[in-house]
Structure 1
């Protein structure tokens, strides 16, 4: 295993704060750092995070607005057509339920409310429902809205932007070289094109990854540089929650120290972007969750799409104990 020194991590932090690009070889050293170097590594990542974001933490809440019923074969997903996991299946929730979710996001002190729907992409009826709900949320609540509805056309993206959607999420999920091992019903290039569609419409692009799906360290580095190239404003880092009934059910968990090195890597490679520790943090990071916020500056509060999250009060307490501050929504 490669080892490095404390001074090397300070150099990494200095490079990141000057927006100098790491080499792929330097990036690999982060993932393969000796475990004894974990605290100096996280301290270096924190210097970058603090430089761009101070000690503020952005909170996000997901609403699973449409569950199951998805024709795609994504191996990690309990809602896909190939999954036998016993998840709820329902069509897009009505406007009042979407509005109630927004009010709950405010109760959780979340600044961003994420409306997520399963499926390849929205039908016109579904898009109309989301547009109507978003307009009312924007008129009545101080929230940023993120939508995640699958593949979009240019016209659909423009309509979401005009309704008041701030951000659109469409994850790359894994590296281009590993993609066909995870999903075959759509391509990596289609995901990239959707993010480009979002940018053209004027919405903030949100795109991230899922770590722990059998990818190599080289492919994790590939993901980090791909997202830097894509210029995603927000990068959710998910860690696989291997759900029984999905093709990846036997993958196990990412060790907590490895997960922290991944977060540090993304902070160095994408220094001024919102790095969000996302799905699977509870079962992968376990008791080391607080350390994740030394690299990440954002997290989800509450449940995920089909899996439970941590108690909201526990997340609030974690942020307070670290001496960090919840960032309020500034529209």
Structure 2
């Protein structure tokens, strides 16, 4: 099956992906080997690193069961308004110095106000002028007018996760519909953004629902897929959800590569707790991107350690 993907450059069917993801544990290393072969032969972007800034934190109107920033949860997560453009620029320069290629400005909430949109556009203009970073916005639901303004300001990518499979979404969020997220992804694609959309694994979904999410992203023709792993946060509805076993996480990464041979697959939040010492297997499992630095409300691994790991593996 691996060689078929290499030869055709096309991902496997949903039925074949469900077969792969449900193979016995003894097949996990073979899955990783196949995914690495596809990554090396088919994936167009060899490797990249991404960093983010939590530009506006807390009081989100949505009730996503995993989120520390939801107003429905009492987690002690920081709460502050949108930070100023010069601070966003400073953080961008720090991440560039640490080895990031891409920089994501992330805000809590359903969507930005007009004033907030002005602020992030001002920041993007400064960042694209004063650094070599590609700037990504993760700014909530998107409208065509907002997309146009962001593009004109220098944003090259837009990030909007679907979070989980459609069939599992009602168990995770009830304050907006799945189709609203689909619509924002489509608006971003239509505006010419390099769209980054994925989800969080370990939300209580089953293996086939992980495949379902990947196939939805393929149907949308999303070029970049971030894979996060739940870090249960005290005060959220999923505070007692067990961590996804490392073998399950690696298996999912590998199967995503079989489904999405040409897309960028970025491993992001939760990898430290879920994978631990096995993080060096991330490229071997088929991923070609890594988020470095801290996340929204949790700390990441040392950027120096991450860059050293990628360099020692020969993928950076």
Other structure's SS at 2:42 match: helix
Find the counterpart in structure 2 of residue 307 from structure 1. 298
Compute the displacement of 1:262 (Å). 0.3
> Contact between 2:2 and 2:37, CA under 8 Å: does it hold in 1?
no
Is the counterpart of residue 238 in structure 1 residue 228 in structure 2? yes
CA offsets 1:154-206 (integer angstroms, 9 cap, x no match): 10010001111000000011011111110111111000000111112111111
For 1:263 and 1:287, the matched residues in 2 are separated by 16
Is the counterpart of residue 186 in structure 1 residue 176 in structure 2? yes
Other structure's SS at 1:63 match: strand
For 2:96 and 2:11, the matched residues in 1 are separated by 37
Find the counterpart in structure 1 of residue 69 from structure 2. 79
Aligned pairs for 1:122-201 within 5 A = 122-201=112-191
TM-score normalised by structure 1 residue count: 0.92
For structure 2, the 5+ residue unaligned runs are none
Other structure's SS at 2:281 match: helix
Q: 2:47 aligns with which of 27, 52, 57?
A: 57
Find the counterpart in structure 2 of residue 282 from structure 1. 272
Mean Cα deviation higher: 46-55 or 94-103:
46-55
Compute the displacement of 1:52 (Å). 3.2
Compute the displacement of 1:225 (Å). 0.5
> Contact between 2:5 and 2:38, CA under 8 Å: does it hold in 1?
no
For 2:68 and 2:213, the matched residues in 1 are separated by 23
> Contact between 2:101 and 2:133, CA under 8 Å: does it hold in 1?
yes
Compute the displacement of 1:132 (Å). 0.6
Compute the displacement of 1:81 (Å). 1.3
> Contact between 1:27 and 1:265, CA under 8 Å: does it hold in 2?
yes
For 2:45 and 2:158, the matched residues in 1 are separated by 25
Compute the displacement of 1:111 (Å). 0.5
Compute the displacement of 1:223 (Å). 0.6
Q: Which runs of 4+ in 1 moved over 3 A?
A: 52-56
Compute the displacement of 1:322 (Å). 1.3
> Contact between 1:30 and 1:264, CA under 8 Å: does it hold in 2?
no
Q: 1:96 aligns with which of 69, 83, 86?
A: 86
Compute the displacement of 1:64 (Å). 0.2
For structure 1, the 5+ residue unaligned runs are 1-10, 326-331
Aligned pairs for 1:14-29 within 5 A = 14-29=4-19
For 1:319 and 1:54, the matched residues in 2 are separated by 18
Find the counterpart in structure 2 of residue 317 from structure 1. 308
CA offsets 1:270-326 (integer angstroms, 9 cap, x no match): 11000001110010111111111121000111110000101111101211221221x
Find the counterpart in structure 2 of residue 5 from structure 1. none
TM-score normalised by structure 2 residue count: 0.97
> Contact between 1:16 and 1:268, CA under 8 Å: does it hold in 2?
no
> Contact between 1:147 and 1:165, CA under 8 Å: does it hold in 2?
yes
> Contact between 1:49 and 1:296, CA under 8 Å: does it hold in 2?
yes
Compute the displacement of 1:256 (Å). 0.3
Other structure's SS at 2:83 match: coil
For 2:176 and 2:241, the matched residues in 1 are separated by 22
Find the counterpart in structure 2 of residue 44 from structure 1. 34
Q: CA RMSD in A?
A: 1.3
